[in-house]
């Protein structure tokens, strides 16, 4: 029995060496952070739910031809993913005003946007993830113009598809954050969707009541945080039998 080698530990996930070259194991923690790490907490069962929710959404996206790093879920808290070179840009797609956009421009939360808006943030905790433009991204070599075109085209497809999917279960996809990576296959490079898609990085509001069913419940101390994540999973039809039963930690492999 050998322990998996830890490659990277982030705020909500840990990456371990995968069983085959070119793969990684993505382990989902219950840890929650907000406001660039100034607020920290535990959302019990979040990792189990986000593992399921992200598996479900990445699988549906893959079926419509959006390339992703997701391979398969391994257990309650782990999924096998392809190893990619992460592009250090967080791409945010917004349909309705909320969060930092509302604050920056003084637009009340919940105002529908005239069209979907894409924003880019440079992934750097030290710099507090500054907002950047295409000029910064290409001039500093974080992504090539063609990479960026691919990321934008994929993000718009993801937005259209997920907006419809969530609308079908009575949820408004207000905004969300995506990350992309470069996947190398025999000298060829493809841009693929990476990271996770879950209530940690989407704003999801009930269509009728505008109730928030996402990480804003934690950010804004609204209570019923676990219940919100469970409700999203329940509406997607993927709530684990008997609720989010836990596994204790990263398991060992042969």
Using CB under 6 A, list all residues that contact ligand UDP.
90, 92, 98-101, 129, 175-177, 201-203, 215
Minimum CB–partner distance for residue 197 and ligand UDP (Å): 10
Q: Which residue is nearest to ligand UDP (CB)?
A: 99
CB nearer to ligand UDP: pick between 48 and 202: 202
Q: Which of 177, 203, 200 is nearest to 43 (CA)?
A: 200
Q: Which of 107, 120, 125, 102 is nearest to 37 (CA)?
A: 125
CB nearer to ligand UDP: pick between 18 and 96: 96
Minimum CB–partner distance for residue 93 and ligand UDP (Å): 8
Listing DSSP states for 90-112 in one string gives EEEEEEE--HHHHHHHTPPTTPE
**Pairing between strand 202-206 and 13-17?**
unpaired
CB nearer to ligand UDP: pick between 73 and 172: 172
Minimum CB–partner distance for residue 175 and ligand UDP (Å): 4
Cα 157 to chain centroid, rounded? 15
CB nearer to ligand UDP: pick between 55 and 175: 175
C-alpha–C-alpha distance, residues 105 and 87, integer Å: 28
Minimum CB–partner distance for residue 242 and ligand UDP (Å): 29
């Amino acid at each position: 029995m050998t322990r998996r080698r830890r490659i990277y530990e982030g705020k909500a996930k840990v990456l371990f060496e995968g069983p085959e070259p070119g793969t990684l194991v993505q382990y989902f923690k219950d840890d929650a952070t907000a406001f660039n790490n100034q607020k920290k907490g535990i959302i019990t069962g979040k990792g189990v739910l986000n593992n399921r929710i992200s598996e479900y959404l990445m699988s549906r996206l893959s079926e419509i031809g959006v390339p992703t790093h997701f391979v398969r879920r391994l257990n309650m808290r782990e999924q096998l993913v392809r190893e990619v070179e992460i592009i250090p840009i967080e791409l945010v797609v917004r349909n309705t005003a909320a969060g930092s956009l509302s604050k920056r421009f003084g637009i009340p939360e919940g105002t529908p946007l005239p069209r979907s808006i894409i924003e880019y943030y440079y992934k750097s905790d030290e710099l507090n993830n500054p907002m950047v433009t295409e000029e910064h991204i290409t001039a500093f070599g974080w992504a090539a113009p063609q990479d960026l075109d691919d990321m934008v085209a994929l993000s718009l497809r993801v937005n259209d598809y997920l907006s419809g999917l969530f609308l079908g279960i009575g949820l408004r996809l207000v905004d969300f954050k995506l990350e992309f990576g470069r996947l190398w296959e025999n000298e060829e490079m493809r841009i693929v969707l990476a990271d996770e898609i879950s209530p940690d990085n989407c704003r999801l509001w009930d269509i009728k009541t505008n109730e928030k069913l996402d990480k804003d419940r934690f950010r804004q101390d609204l209570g019923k945080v676990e219940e919100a994540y469970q409700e999203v999973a329940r509406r997607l039809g993927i709530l684990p039998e008997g609720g989010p039963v836990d596994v204790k930690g990263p398991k060992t492999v042969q």
